[in-house]
Amino acid sequence: MSTDILMPKATAVWLVDNTSLTFEQIADFCGLHRLEVKGIADGEVARDIRGADPIANGQLSREELDLAEKNDKHKLVALKSRHAEYLKPQKKAPRYTPVSRRQDRPDAIAWFLRNHPEVADAQLARILGTTKATIDQVRNRTHWNSANIKPVDPVTLGLSTQMELDAVVKKAAEKKAKDDKRKGIVEPEGPTLMPASETGVIEDEEPAHVEHTPESVFEDEDED
Has residue 104 been placed in a domain? Answer: yes
Residues 34 and 77 grouped into a single domain: yes
Has residue 2 been placed in a domain? Answer: no
Contacts of the segment 138-145: beta carbons below 8 A, 24+ positions apart: 138/106, 138/109, 138/110, 138/113, 139/109, 139/113, 143/106, 145/106
Domain span at residue 72 reads 8-87
pLDDT score of 91: 54
DSSP string covering 179-216: HHHHHT----SS--PPPHHHHTPPPPPPPPP----HHH
Has residue 216 been placed in a domain? Answer: no
Has residue 129 been placed in a domain? Answer: yes
Residues 121 and 82 grouped into a single domain: no
pTM (whole model) above 0.95:
no
How do the pLDDT tens digits run along the chain, 224 residues long?
434 778 899 999 999 999 999 999 999 999 999 999 999 888 888 778 888 899 888 888 999 999 999 998 999 988 865 554 554 555 555 555 555 556 788 999 999 999 999 999 999 888 888 889 999 999 999 999 889 999 998 888 888 889 888 998 999 899 888 888 888 765 555 444 454 444 444 444 444 555 555 555 455 545 55
**Greatest pairwise CA separation for the chain in angstroms:** 134
Residue 68 CA, distance from chain mean position: 46
Has residue 165 been placed in a domain? Answer: yes
Has residue 214 been placed in a domain? Answer: no
**Domains of the chain: total:** 2
Has residue 27 been placed in a domain? Answer: yes
pLDDT score of 188: 54
Residues 62 and 130 grouped into a single domain: no
Has residue 75 been placed in a domain? Answer: yes
pLDDT score of 158: 85
pLDDT score of 179: 84
Residues 149 and 125 grouped into a single domain: yes
What are phi and psi for residue 74, nearest 5 degrees?
-80, 130
pLDDT score of 70: 93
Residues 12 and 59 grouped into a single domain: yes
pLDDT score of 178: 87
